[in-house]
Structure 1
Amino acid sequence: MDTQGGRLPLKRRGLLAGTVAAAGVAMTAGLSSPAQAATTSVTEPDRFPAGRPLLIRGATVITMDRARGILPDTDVLVVRDKIKAVGRKLSAAHGATIIEARGALLIPGFVDTHRHMWQSALRGAGADWTLTNYLTAMGMLPPLFRPEDIYAGNYLGMVDAVADGVTTVLDWSHGSVTPAHADAAVDALMAVPGRARWAYGRFPLDLSWVTSGEVDRIREARFSSDDQLVTMQLALHAPSDSVGDAAWRYAVEHDVPVNSHVGFFGAASDSDVRRLVENKFLSPSTTLAHATAMSDDSYRLIADSGAFVSLSAESDLNMGQGYPPTGVVRRFGIPISLSVDSLLGWSGDMFSNMRAILSAERGLVHLRAHERGEMVASLDLRAADVLRYATLGGAEALGMADRIGSITPGKLADLVLLRQDTPSMTPVNNPIGHLVFHAGRGDIDTVVVNGRVLKHRGELIGVNLPRARRLAEATQDHLVSSIGEEAWRNLIDPPRP
């Protein structure tokens, strides 16, 4: 196959179409037009051989590093799995692949701190669900999920995350109801070369499984190193009895981070937080997902503990778990990360979630001001804040900020490069504001995880999308045939009030 297809150079603002030099000499790639991306099919060794240094040249680098800020016309050199250097006119290492990116935006990869990956094969089924509809469905569907269905959801979820520039995702794996389901979930995450944190959970509120030896088994068998792409923690519901307390105590005593659902409207969320605090279970290694509909006392306790929150604005606004608490969380100084929650109803990209957070909080601030007969003179929550939540904030919540979350020399090379030749990316006057409000998943040109290029010119590399589709469609067929087509239609289209 002709890897270049006889493309003409992209003259606008100096972007180059790819040309490959002889072996041992720098190889140059570039950003593509949509037509080029659609027609190109090139294997990874053709463009990005394993171990070859990578130089991204001339981008506007939004580093998320407080000391560096936004760097126009800047190069980023990647050697093996790490960012070697950030600066202007860097010398390419011998044999490096060069991506000409003048005018394009380069950001650290997004970090999603709470996503039920096993539900990915149900994409869109819950678009019109309330939390009540969801709980009804979860009483019906999870018992039908075989280990291969968990695998299919996790595999598709990882492929989806990589394609959308979510280079690290926490899998809140409460579909892992047996050891076989758990192993299938881990197998799927490890089969896709993205970065993931597998949070072992189970659907029933009974947490006795945590101390049964099952967590010890899978930790020893599958998670021997903190340096592997997929690492482990626990996904636990708030404890309500001594069995739950024992599960959380296991996490504390074994130094295993916990991600927990807390603060749903109508639930006893304040008592949950008090119990966690009284037992000294909350710490900076704890992330509380949703965290809506609680009293100021609860937010104060969370702030004092150093725990993080993971805000899922699209899910919360549509299903009714509670209004996104961005303002009150900021007021108490609680560190924030963002999350998709599930592809079951909502988008899997962080662009949508950043916009949802901004729109919900700003709309509320304006509404309250209007109720007082006032106008808002200046906005407190900025685009830069939510971009931080979606990148470095997520890395901090996972205890990985020393390794990912910013474009800083020495950190692991998890990078997302956005094209600059689409209508939505022209012109860029305010890089961060543009990224948050105007960019989308279709503008992602290149995704790098751990120094490895997994997407370029809009095309996945070394990531098997056709397999993901086949697996997900098989799970869909299984679920529909199990409950019947009429029941399936009634499930995804619940009656109106």
Structure 2
Amino acid sequence: MTEYNRTIMQASAVPTTRTVIRGATVLSMDGDIGNLVRGDILVEGSTLKAVGNDIEAGDAVVIDATGMIAMPGMVDTHRHSWEGQLRRINPNAETLEDYCNATHFSFAKYYRPSDMYIGNLLTALGCIDAGITTVIDNSHNSRTGAHSDAAVEALLDAGIRAVHASGAPISGEWDKAHWPGNLERLQEKYFKNEDNKLVSLAVMAQLEPELWAYARRLGLPIITEFFGGAMAAELEGLHSKGLLRPDNIFNHCTALPDAGWEILREAGVRVNVCPRSDAHYGIEDGMFAMQSAQRHGISPGLSVDNETSYSGDMFMEMRVAFYLQRVMGMHQQRCCGKDHHTVTLPAHSLLKAATIDGAACAGLQENIGSLTPGKQADLILLNAQDINLYPSGNAFGTVVHAAERSNVDTVMIGGRILKRGGKVLGVDSERLRAAIDESRDHLFAQAGYRPDMFAQTFMPLASSK
């Protein structure tokens, strides 16, 4: 146990030797395995052993999944987890500057290591609760080494699978002596530990070749907030020098011209798109880049980005993506004539984006993202008998168009059950809420912010610059 979690988190569940999940409707997201109206899943230790009908499981622990949908755990490929305690503080934000004023230019400057811990812990537990088993943690508030330690330890304590991308703060005073050298210290302290099988390290960096070179010497993926309209002109130079590679992960990719997409495809850059945040904050053209990416042979992951304005679940992300791409297609047809045909994505494709494509964006497609024997046992069970889902006329339609956090009955990560019967396990909820309240009180007081439950705009009293 760390100094941060002794009163909040209990010991992590130990995976049983063998578990069989029986009678579920199985959405494997594996082309060879396919889907089963009523099937079984055998888990041995942390690994998926078999998926099929009437699996012989001997003395395995049995989970009766009759009336449930079994599917891979979802992957959130871009989340600023440290902001967890600032949920919905700015619901009517209209611009990226509005978002920054409510995070980087105000509260971020006053985060203590304990605040980083609580933000990351709350986000990770919220992900687990919503059926997200893997998150790429974009941690661009690493003010000191202790802040970075706290962020990593929260992910470890929560039991989520994660890529922790350490990044420099955007505003305020911070310990510049620890960056970027802190990456080597983090790597040595946490990521060479054989007991840590869930969390890996990356770096957040903009288009900074020297920092990219340093990250590559350490073997770390490089995550960039990439806005195509403003930054596309730099791609050709980076590509010609061989600096764009498959270890690059680009967030957003809004308003990127075709030539830019061709460069990303040639270089093998991994991409995620943000249906809600791009629209909510009017980032460049305000439209997420799913169709553009698909048109150029790139299958991006989906990402929530943050919770300061909206919810943190992938179900809503898939729904917003579904409707936005339909609207975009209709708009392009009206603008470009009847001969213009835009391919819109069915529910299956959006679930693919939230699972196996997200795993590929995280560089984890060999381990997670589908219910494939040999992969890690990261899966969820949705209760399709719940009143909002029953009867289920189509399994993909049920998941993408109707399911929500409350329907997530069971969550398993690496063979460990972290949610069962609709309840996240191992959390002292009362003490967690107390720690969140203490953190918020500290941040609000330091930033000069007077909370208003009914405010239409975010307005800190202190200067936000």
Do both share a fold (TM > 0.5)? yes
- Which residue does the alignment assign to 1:133? 98
1:430 counterpart (384, 389, 394): 394
- Which residue does the alignment assign to 2:26? 61
Structure 1 residues 372, 219: closer, same or farther in 2, change over 3 A?
closer
SS at match of 1:261: strand
Instruction: Using the TM superposition, give the Cα deviation of residue 376 of structure 1 relative to its aligned residue in structure 2, in angstroms.
Output: 9.3
2:250 counterpart (288, 302, 321): 288
Q: Write out aligned runs for 1:251-400 (5 A).
A: 251-263=215-227, 268-321=230-283, 322-371=286-335, 374=338, 380-400=344-364
- Whether contact under 8 Å (1:366, 1:376) holds in the other structure is no
Structure having greater relative contact order (Cα 8 Å, sep ≥ 6)? 2
Distance in 2, Cα, partners of 1:111 & 1:248: 25
- Which residue does the alignment assign to 1:203? 169
User: Highest CA radius of gyration, 1 or 2?
Assistant: 1
Structure 1 residues 378, 427: closer, same or farther in 2, change over 3 A?
farther
1:448 aligns with 2:412: yes
- Which residue does the alignment assign to 1:152? 118
Q: Which moved more, 1:65-74 or 1:165-174?
A: 65-74
Question: TM-score scaled by structure 2?
Answer: 0.89
Distance in 2, Cα, partners of 1:97 & 1:295: 53
Distance in 2, Cα, partners of 1:124 & 1:302: 34
Q: Write out aligned runs for 1:63-212 (5 A).
A: 63-94=28-59, 96-129=60-93, 130-137=95-102, 138-204=104-170, 212=180
1:216 aligns with 2:180: no
SS at match of 2:101: helix
SS at match of 1:424: coil
- Whether contact under 8 Å (2:107, 2:444) holds in the other structure is no
Q: Deviations over 1:327-368 (max 9, x none)?
A: 111111123111110111122111011111111111110122
- Which residue does the alignment assign to 1:39? none
- Whether contact under 8 Å (1:262, 1:272) holds in the other structure is no
Structure 1 residues 116, 396: closer, same or farther in 2, change over 3 A?
same
Distance in 2, Cα, partners of 1:309 & 1:489: 36
SS at match of 2:276: helix
- Which residue does the alignment assign to 1:238? 207
- Which residue does the alignment assign to 1:470? 434
- Whether contact under 8 Å (2:144, 2:175) holds in the other structure is no
| Aligned amino acid, residue 45 of structure 2 | R
* Unaligned stretches of 5+ residues in structure 1: 1-42, 240-244
Distance in 2, Cα, partners of 1:435 & 1:103: 14
Distance in 2, Cα, partners of 1:308 & 1:80: 31
Distance in 2, Cα, partners of 1:378 & 1:492: 37
Q: Percent identity?
A: 33
SS at match of 1:280: coil
SS at match of 1:425: coil
Distance in 2, Cα, partners of 1:188 & 1:401: 24
Q: Deviations over 1:134-154 (max 9, x none)?
A: 223321221111111111100
- Whether contact under 8 Å (2:43, 2:50) holds in the other structure is yes
- Whether contact under 8 Å (1:159, 1:465) holds in the other structure is no
* Unaligned stretches of 5+ residues in structure 2: 1-9, 460-465
Question: TM-score scaled by structure 1?
Answer: 0.83
The alignment covers a number of residue pairs equal to 443
Distance in 1, Cα, partners of 2:329 & 2:139: 35
Instruction: Using the TM superposition, give the Cα deviation of residue 491 of structure 1 relative to its aligned residue in structure 2, in angstroms.
Output: 8.6
Structure 1 residues 93, 176: closer, same or farther in 2, change over 3 A?
farther
Instruction: Using the TM superposition, give the Cα deviation of residue 396 of structure 1 relative to its aligned residue in structure 2, in angstroms.
Output: 1.0
Distance in 2, Cα, partners of 1:60 & 1:259: 36
Instruction: Using the TM superposition, give the Cα deviation of residue 49 of structure 1 relative to its aligned residue in structure 2, in angstroms.
Output: 6.6
Q: Which moved more, 1:163-172 or 1:189-198?
A: 189-198
Distance in 2, Cα, partners of 1:204 & 1:279: 28
Distance in 1, Cα, partners of 2:260 & 2:203: 22
- Whether contact under 8 Å (2:145, 2:178) holds in the other structure is no
Q: Deviations over 1:408-428 (max 9, x none)?
A: 111110011000211221122
Instruction: Using the TM superposition, give the Cα deviation of residue 281 of structure 1 relative to its aligned residue in structure 2, in angstroms.
Output: 2.5
Q: Write out aligned runs for 1:401-416 (5 A).
A: 401-416=365-380
Distance in 2, Cα, partners of 1:376 & 1:264: 24
